[in-house]
Amino acid sequence: MRLDLRDRTVLITGAARGIGAQLARAAAARGARVALVGREPVLLQQVAAEVEGHWYECDVTDQAGVDDAVASTLQRFGAIDVVVANAGIANIGTVSTGAVDALARTIEVNLTGVVRTVSATLPHVRAARGHVLLVSSAAAFAAMPGMAAYCASKAGVEQFGNVLRLENRRQGLTVGTAHPSWIDTDLVRDLRDDLDSFRTAQRRLPWPLNSVVSVEQCAEALLRGIEDRRRKVYVPRSIAVVQALRPVLLSGFADRLVDRFGGTELAERMEAEAPRLGRSFGRSSAEAGR
């Protein structure tokens, strides 16, 4: 059954900027009540003012903070019908040269943050027979040097969503995972600005992995996925081709393909470039001070 978002409450994490902020705008345009959760209060307040929504500052790795954000949303709107676990970060550097705390932090935010968000909201969204959308990535099934923690965390998000769907289908709850490729967000722009090796690799990637999609197009695709209660949302849609080729990508052929498009060179160049930045995350990230 299609999900009409009018007068429904949609809670979005990582909603201060990028995909989360644009999704909040698009959902509000559909008549939804929007609750925004994130770590950047000034930006959250600005987006909330645009959409006449509710906002709450918290770190998704802090269970007490997530629980408080949920309680605050319930106090304001009385229900939670849709949850979009979108908060995510990407550390800079390879496993060899990257700070271990940054690698672990990426997994903590991207995967453990999803687990905590879902656990806090599940009783309410299940009671509403609503929908949970977990923002994974094309990186869940397409590995790239320099993105070990990011790829691992997003693969974990996909499998967490698959099991969550099976566990709750009889209760009327639907669960989807979203798999965007490169979206024109601050996160991707920061990587391009920081690393010449990343810019080169992005240009060399084969179609459709070299596609860059606007944040507006991405938000619209995710919103349609919520309304249609889809199991999988690919952005762009052509990323479904990569998903279908997963058995091939898990073979030695994928390693040879990555090498052909400069993967080994990318890793070597990144190991030289990343330490010179003096930080483990992009300039726009809430983690920039780490």
| Annotated catalytic residue 150 | yes
Q: What share of the chain is helix, strand, coil (3-state, %, to 5)?
A: 55, 15, 30
Two structure tokens written together for 161: 């969503």
**Rounded Cα distance, 290 and 274, in Å:** 14
One-letter amino acid of 12 = I
Total Cβ atoms within 10 A of residue 224? 12
CB 261 within 8 A of CB 201: yes
**Rounded Cα distance, 30 and 9, in Å:** 11
As to burial, measured by CB atoms within 10 angstroms (0-12 exposed, 13-18 middle, 19+ buried), residue 7 is: exposed
Two structure tokens written together for 265: 């060179």
Question: What angle separates helix 196-204 from helix 263-277, to the nearest 10 degrees?
Answer: 150
User: One of 77, 150, 182, 261 is an active-site residue; which one?
Assistant: 150
Beta bridge partners of 12: 36, 84
DSSP structural state of residue 206: P
Residues 6+ apart with CB under 8 A from 204: 210, 261, 262
**Rounded Cα distance, 285 and 290, in Å:** 10
Enzyme catalytic residues: 150
